[in-house]
Structure formats: structure tokens, C-alpha cells
Structure 1
Amino acid sequence: MFWEGIPIGDFVHDSGVRGCFCLTPTNERRCDLAECVANKSVDLVLILDGSGSIGDETFQLQLNFAVHLARRLNISQSASHMAIIQYAETPQLEMSLNQYTLPNQVEWAVQRIKYLSGATNTGAALKFALENGFQGARGGGIPKAVVVVTDGQSQDAVSEPAQQLRDAHIMVYAIGVTNLVNVHQLHQIAGNPQRVLTVESFEELDRSLADSLTWDMCKTEFRPGTPDIICAPDRIGVRASTKKPFDGYVFVMDHFHREECRAGPEMFPDPRSIGITVAFTDCNVHRYRSVGFTFFVAALFRINPFFFE
């Protein structure tokens, strides 16, 4: 059923999703996005840069971006949830994951956030997100994601806390703003070049970027039945979600007997969220150079279909 008078590319929500009105190819993606977020959920922690280089006016642009995301994510009790952390010298939780379950509530809470100012300790914010941001997360087949916004270089290390997030099966996105940003650190944070976004100014933290980010989170392969391969400079990881609690081990073939080559239920953050990370020096796992400085690692992930039914 299609409705007249509805903005192009938006769904109508009342008792459910009613339809999507697309007239041009430009808006077809908006329809795809609206349909995707209507049927898939995410627990998202948004980390905003409140350091001294930002300033009040620019910080407001980050808050506007948070509102764009909230409007796109189909936030509700049964759909997506969003938390917000602001960081400068120290991080603080501005909004917990399940504190608000309606978009207008989130928008109200976002506009009440006050700018911190101070040093840029992005690593501390990542660690804080892992320890505090996902309290109340629903687990199961609902992916967890972190989105970090920064305009410069962190004054503390980001690699280890970012890896800990990924080891906990959390997707990490890094948004770098202005040409002063440290691109190498962005890649350390995200661990995946496809999850690194850069823009030249905070004015570009707009609806279009929110759409692109939401679309990537929504279509991500980290869904039940399809593993996600995570590549790092010194290790490789595999993660997946299952529909039924997983009671077993994920291990490197022919190396189950070695503790560093297997992961069991006691190591999984959720019985339906499984994975393993292995260093290239362990478990006979190797990477091969094909051309220039590009390395390739082949990964084969097998699991009993019982857990996906």
C-alpha cells in the first residue's frame, strides 16, 4: 500500500511498515535503507569528540548528526537502540543504550548535552564504551556497533582498546573530520578500511552521511548465518551470530589441542555471538604477499546448520 503526501524514500509507521514511495533512482537507496532499518536492529554507541579543538558551535553540528542517526535508525523498544558517549580528557556517558526508546525522546536528550572541552583521549573513550556503553544490550542476533567521531589525533593509544571492542564482536566505525585527522589512527580504530569515513568539515556530518553509515550497518554481513572476517596487521578474526545458543568451540582446523587456537562458550560475550581471533604467528595461520605490499589470508568458516535454524 502506498501513501500520498509522504516524503520520498520514507516509510509510514503506525501499526507497522506500510510502504515506500520512490520516484527516481536517487531515492531508491533511501527506500532500500528505510526497508532495511524497518526489519533489522542494531545496538549503537555513538562517541562524540568534545575536545578543546572542537568549540561549542562545531560540537552542536555533532549533536545534529546524532539526531540524523536517531531519525534513521528506527529507534523503538523492539528495534534499534542508541547510546551516546562524549569524550575529551575523560569520557562520560551522556545517554545509556536503553534509556530512550522513541526518536523524539532521543532528540530531546541529545540537545541537552553540554560540550566538555579538554584533551583528546580517544583510546580512553573506546575502553569506556566497551565497559559501560553496552549495558542493557540485548545480545542474540542484534549486532553491536560503535561510531567514533574525531577531528584530530588521539593523545593516548587507540589500537588495543579498539581491538578489544572488535574481539567482543562489536563493529567499529571511525569518522575523521578535517584534514588534521590522523588517518592511520582511524584505521587502527575501525580495523577495516571500509568502516573508515572522512569528511573535510563538520558541516558534512549531515543526513547524507547518516544515511550512508546507517546503510552500511544495516546491510553488514554480521548477521545470523554469515560470518564477518576481521583483518588486522598482526592477526585475523572470524565472528558470527547464531539464532540458537552455541554450546561448543570455534577453533583453527587441526589445532584444537592448543588453547590459543580455540574459543569456547566461556569466552563468548553472548551464547549467540561467537568468534575467534588468532595471531599470524600462531596456529599455523599465515598471510601471503601477492603483489607489492598487499597481503592475503584465506579463511574458511564452517558451523553446524542446527544453530542457524
Structure 2
Amino acid sequence: MYESTSLLVYDWSIVKKFQEFNCILKGTLLYSATVPDSRTSETLQVFQKHSIMRFIHCFFTVISLCFPYQVSSVDCGSATADIVFILDSSGSVSEPDFIRAKNFFKTMVNGFNIGSDKVRMGSVTFSTVVHDTFEFNEFTSRYSLKNRIDRIPYDSGGTNTHLALKYALETSFRYYGRSGVAKIVIVITDGKSNDKTKTLEESRRLRSSGAIIFSVGVGDGVDRDELLGMASKSAYVFDVSTFSALQNIRERLTKTTCEVISCGDPGTPQNGYFVGRDFSKGKSVSYVCNQDYRLQGTSTRICQGDTTWSGSLPHCIFANACRSSPCKNGATCINVDSRYRCECNPGYSGFDCETDIQPPLVKQCPGNKRMTSSERFVNITWKAPEFYDRFGHNVLTSSNYPRHGSSFFWGDYTVRYNALKPFNGLRTNCTFNIAVRPRPCPDLKPPKNGAVACNGWMKEFTRLCIVFCRKGTRLSDGYDFRTKYVCGGSGNWLPTENLPICKATRARHVDIDEIQNYFPRCQPVFKDEMKERYIAVLRNAIGFRSLCDDYSDHCKPENVDVDC
């Protein structure tokens, strides 16, 4: 026996579901009513098919699929993000369960402010392959987005989760994602992926790009380690026993996602408060302390692109510790945290600036002195430095030259004055150097058509030079290559500072003893030969070989000066 039944329909898609489950029965009149985002109502035709008992059974099945909870109490406000839902459409997920996953997706939409400049959503469905995706820029209203979710088809097949993760990284975010907004991925799956290694590697790549991954596991067949490996952190892993139970985590998942998109409550310091209630990216809050407290730390924090607050939570520190004037000797008291700090005047130290750390002070410490003299000894005097204590304590003084002068031979000397303050045992030194040098020798000009080689070390005390001639010339008559030109403390060259010239000659004969005193051209290679010759002559020069014997580390060809 059949009866006529009327049903008020709020969603056109339910008609298809009744048809898919063969639930339309004879005499059932279906009406469409207007809902906030639906079209104008109209009357549907009467369908005649099965018995009333069949209808009742299917009615509750279809209603559970088509009318999940539609309203979310969580709202992310003005936060912005690009969110990808990755849906498992493999063979282990039945078609009714896949519909429940889509309905869960739709209820999640209600928790966000959807728009082109707000939260955008995309979808990647996978089984053996990725299929029926849509991108962030395609649907920018809740109505159009939920209608598109309804049209995601069931596929069945394998569980190649890694392909969906790879698609999200290399297509969804790379080509359609925005910079400067949170990148969120929500993976819903009921089993183990076909290739766990690839799944974890693609998850790592996705996280490295800045995306935050939530993993939702449904049922007992899920690989828990794989869920943990995919998610950005363990708190972002959600478990439910069935697809119907997804609604149980909707509020928590939406809230957690909102916290990722926004920075959440920045925290309130004890004995203080913050000003500002918008916690979305780019917004800021300012901190203020109660009376008698001082802010320690940053006064402003900004919600950053990675959904964390800049800086750290400041503290409000009791700021009246200096009321008792604990600092001594005229020090300045500064409140630090709940205590105080003393800024001491010069010469004092200690927590309360109670300790005298002032060493003796010095006036007119002489500077370094340099003198030249043709005499080996020279008398030098100076004005002694003055030592004193700014606080009036006694100062004792000593010196290695107590008469403030002495007779100095050519050389280098250090004069030291030491002052001791017995009150605290601190000392102060006055030190300066005295350099006594022979009268400097003028540089020798190389002879015409020749060269001159001299020692390049100990030049301030002794200069010794020899001459060379260019090939094709010879020394002026009366001069000898064996002559050494020397300048000492007198500052005068002996035998003369005027070197002989090298005159051109046609004579081809050169004395074998003089052949090493000739050079073809003034080039580095021939200068090196003259330097070698100079060292050989110096080592055998009676009365002058001490330049090599006493300074063997310096008596080397590279330290010889050659000018030509």
C-alpha cells in the first residue's frame, strides 16, 4: 500500500541523493524552500518508485550525508590564508564516507571569511592519481566554494598521498598562492599511503616551503607514524574513528587553524595590560604597566607572517626600590626589575658604590724623546711627572731614573715612574722611551754609469757602501772597487760622499779580480748579483764584518739596498 508524502527540500543536491539511493517513492511530493544562499523556491514533480519503508530507511541515510552541521562557532575574523584540503578518494574510502569528508570540508568553510583578499581555499583529491583539483583563485565566496565542493567526484583506486602533497607544493602554492599569508594544508585520509618514504619526503618539502600541515586520520587503518611525519607538529594530528565523527573535531581543527593564521592572544603581563584586540597578521598590540611598575622589554609586538608575535612578552617590574637612597658617594640610583642598580661616580665601585677603586692620577707624564748626536754620549733631562689622589690620600713614587735625567749612549731606553696609593694598594705608571742616535748620514747618489750598494739594516748607526760600474765603463783614474765608503756617528762619509764616475772605455780587458764589480743592466736579476757580491765583500771586510757577525739574521742579500 502506498501513501502520498510531502518533503520540504532545502538543497537541490538532495534530490540527486534520493535518486542515487532509489529512495523516491510513489506519491512523495518534494518542495524546495528558500535558505540564506539558495535560489528561488519552486515545486518539484512527484516521483513514484518504492515503498514507504524503503523511503524511511534511505531518508535518514541521505539526511546524514546531505545535512551535516552547517554553522561553526569559530571565526578567524579578518585573518588571511591560502588553505588546501587534500581528500583521500582511494578504494578504502566508500562513496558515502567520501561524501561525509566533503561535507566536513563544507562545514570547515563556514569558519573562515572567504574572499579574494581574505581566506582562499583550494582542493586536491587523490587516489592512484591526483584528480579534480581546484585552485585558490577560482571560488571567492562561501556559496560558490561549497557548491564546487559538492561537485568533487568519487574516484576510488590506490593511495598515492605523495602525489597530492607534491601537487599542492608545485602547483597550488607555487602558481596560485600569495606571498605574505599563511599557507595551510589539511590532509584527510583513512589508510596508509602506497609509498610512505615519498609521502614523508614530499611533506618535508612542503613544510620547508613555509606551509603548515594538519593531518586527519580516520579509522583504525591509518599509519599513525605517517600522520605524525606529515604534520608540522604532533599537535596538528587529529584522529577520528569514522568519517561521521569528523564533525567532532570540526571546532577544534578550525580553532587550531585560526591560531595558525592569526597569532592568537599575545598574553598579558602581571601588573599590566595590553591595548589592541585584532590579532591578525600585520596588526600590533601595545603594553602598559600599572602605576608604580615599569615596563621591561618591548612595548609593542606585531603579528608576523609566520603567525608568531614579534619579540617576547614584556614584564612589569616594581620600580620603587630607590626610595631608600641606598647608593653611596653621590652615586645615581636606577630601578632594575624589583631591585636597584647604582651608577657610581669615577673612582668608586661596589654594589652601593662604597669602594674606593681610584688609582693615583698623573699629571704631565713626559712623551717619548729622540735625539741625534755626533758624540757617543749625550746628557738628557726631563721634568718629572706629578702623581696625586683625587680623594686626598697619600701617594708614594719611585723611578728607575730618580734624578730625572742621565747620560745616554747611542741606543734605546725606557724610563719608568711608579706611583702607589697605600689606601687601596692601587698603582699608576708613567712610562716613556728615549732613543739616542748618531747624526744621520746623507744618502749617496749612485755614480754616473754605475751603481752603489749599501747595508739596509742598522742604518741609523752605521752605513757601509761599495760601487759597481756598468759593463763597457771603468772607474775614474785613481779609484778602486775595493774602496769602502763609510758613515758613522759623525754623520760624514769617509773617504768622501762624492763617488767616482764610471767612464766609457773601449778596452776589452778587465782584471779578473774586478769582473764581479761590473753589471750589464740595472735590472732585478743583476741587482741580485750585486747584493750577493756586497754580502761577500762585507763578510771579509776587516773592521766592518761585525755588521754581519753581530746581526747574522739581517746580513742577507735581500736586506741590501742597491741604487743605480
Bin of the TM-score, shorter chain as denominator length:
0.5 to 0.7
AA paired with 1:161? E
1:177 aligns with 2:177: no
For structure 1, which segment, 213-222 or 152-161, has the greater mean C-alpha deviation from structure 2 after superposition?
A: 213-222
The residue identity in structure 2 corresponding to 1:136 is Y
The structure, 1 or 2, with the larger RCO (C-alpha pairs under 8 Å, 6+ apart) is 1
Aligned counterpart for 1:50 among listed residues 57, 77, 89: 89
Q: TM-score, normalised by structure 2?
A: 0.34
Structure-2 separation of matches of 1:138 and 1:221: 14
Alpha-carbon distance between aligned partners in 1 of 2:110 and 2:311, rounded to the nearest angstrom: 37
Unaligned runs of 5+ in 2: 1-71, 267-279, 283-303, 313-564
- What corresponds to 1:285 in structure 2? none
- In 2, are the aligned partners of 1:169 and 1:273 still within 8 Å (CA)? no
Per the TM alignment, residue 136 of structure 1 is displaced from its structure 2 partner at its CA by 2.1
Separation in 2 of the partners of 1:117 and 1:217? 29
Aligned pair count reads 204
Whether 1:212 aligns to 2:252 is yes
Q: Percent identity?
A: 28
The one-letter amino acid of 1:174's match is: S
Counterpart for residue 168 of structure 1: 209
**8 Å Cα contact 2:214/2:231 also seen in 1:** yes
SS in 2 for 1:116: coil
- 1-structure distance, mates of 2:230, 2:216: 10
Paired position in structure 2 for 1:76: 115
Indicate how the Cα distance of structure 1 residues 202 and 220 shifts in structure 2: closer, same or farther if over 3 A, else same. same
1:1-309 matches, cutoff 5 A: 33-34=74-75, 37-134=76-173, 135-140=175-180, 142-156=181-195, 157=197, 158-206=199-247, 208-220=248-260, 223=263
2:305 & 2:77 partners in 1: Cα distance?
22
In 2, Cα distance between equivalents of 1:177 and 1:122: 15
Letter in 2 for 1:159: L
Higher strand share: 2
Q: What is the distance in 2 between the residues matched to 1:220 and 1:55?
A: 31
Alpha carbons of structure 1 residues 76 and 221: separation in structure 2 relative to 1, 3 Å: closer
Q: Does the 8 Å contact 2:122/2:172 carry over to 1? A: yes
User: What amino acid is the match of 1:175?
Assistant: V
Q: What is the Cα deviation at residue 210 of structure 1?
A: 2.3
Q: 1:242 to 1:66 in 2, by over 3 A?
A: closer
Contact 2:82 2:120 in 1 (8 A): yes
- 1:78 Cα deviation (Å)? 2.2
CA–CA distance in 1 between the matches of 2:177 and 2:132?
15
Q: Which one has a bigger Cα radius of gyration?
A: 2
User: Partner of 1:38: helix, strand, or coil?
Assistant: coil
- Which one has the bigger helix percentage? 1
C-alpha RMSD over aligned residues? 2.9
**Alignment correspondent of 2:467:** none
Q: Partners in 2 of 1:173 and 1:166 — Cα distance?
A: 11
Query: Which stretch of structure 1 is more off in the superposition, 131-140 or 56-65?
Result: 131-140
Deviation at 1:92, TM superposition (A): 2.4
